[in-house]
Chain A
Amino acid sequence: MTDMMDMTTSPTVGDRIVHKRFPAINRHRLALYCGASGDHNPIHVDIDFAKASGFPDVFTHGMLVMGYLGQALSDAVPPGRIRSFSTRFAAITQLGAEITCEGQVTELIEAGGERRARLALTARDQTGEIKLAGEAIVAV
């Protein structure tokens, strides 16, 4: 595994360019995200609603975790160079999850008249379970 690097030098396949850990997600964070994102689905903040819907407790907005992954991505790649960003929500992210985001270069391509890199991205909790798996295409 190669060391962390930034996108100002030319990346090669296998480079780990994204890595960031985030603090444990608590109820307060979910309440803040509810207001900040406009996603007022009560399943993320109202335990009574969550239980009535068959869940043991409220759980994290997938888009909060994708927000973390986006933050880890744009720490490594200036936002003006990000061409696309996509994720699959592989598992529900529970309260208390400590998310680690990682990404590495999997392919170098030419598209849109520029040189681009494809990055494979993951967000895992503290047990190593993949919560989000995705990719980004960035100009290099």
Chain B
Amino acid sequence: MVDQSAVGRRFTPVTAHVEAGRLRYFLDTLGETNPVYRDAAAAKAEGFAAPPIPPTYLFCLEMLDNEKPFEFLEALEIDLGRVLHGEQSFTYHAPVMVGDSLTFSPQVTSVTDKKGGAMTLIGVETTVTNQHGVHVADTTRTIVVRNG
């Protein structure tokens, strides 16, 4: 079972690339047709130098370009079949656009037992910076581990 010793633990930073083709596949999968995410001219009309990414795509980029997307679970010896996503949040500080390279730096920020130890909630915060060193976003997620 994951204990408090995990708090503060950092994992290998991931560098991810915002590629137009991969983004289009994501948009098609969600049935997202808003031209701002696909078309340079539509993006420019809204003040972006290139198409921006949709609100949840940061979460995907961190996994898409991660050589070990489940490193965090493996390091804490958590079975993939026992995790559920409890909460997710994004705070956006600056635009992220097609062509950007982002660096994700995750850290475990909390470990909380629930229901007499039947579940453990793990909080992970990730800072995101772009190729210019601009801090573009912070993401936080809560992973629920079923211990039973």
Contact = CB atoms under 8 A, between A and B. Distances in A.
Chains A and B form a bound pair: yes
B30 interface: yes
B64 A88 contact: no
A74 B85 contact: no
B55 interface: yes
Contact of A82 (B31, B84, B92): B92
A22 to B, nearest CB: 7
Given A68-B30, A80-B48, A88 B87 contact: yes
B86 interface: yes
Contact of B55 (A22, A29, A33, A70): A70
Contacts of A32: 25, 28-29
A54 B36 CA distance: 41
A83 B46 contact: no
Interface in A46-87: 49-50, 52-54, 61-64, 66-68, 70-71, 73-75, 78-80, 82-87
Secondary structure type dominating chain B contacts: mixed
A129 interface: no
A35 interface: yes
Interface in B52-71: 52, 54-56, 59-66, 69-70
Contacts of A53: 79, 81-82
Nearest to A66: B56
A66 B32 CA distance: 13
Given A36-B25, A63-B59, 7 more contacts: A36-B26, A37-B29, A40-B69, A61-B85, A71-B30, A88-B86, A92-B84
Given A32-B29, A35-B25, A83-B92, A73 B87 contact: no
Given A70-B56, A79-B46, A86 B87 contact: yes
B85 A38 contact: no
Contacts of B5: none
Nearest to B48: A80
Contacts of A107: none
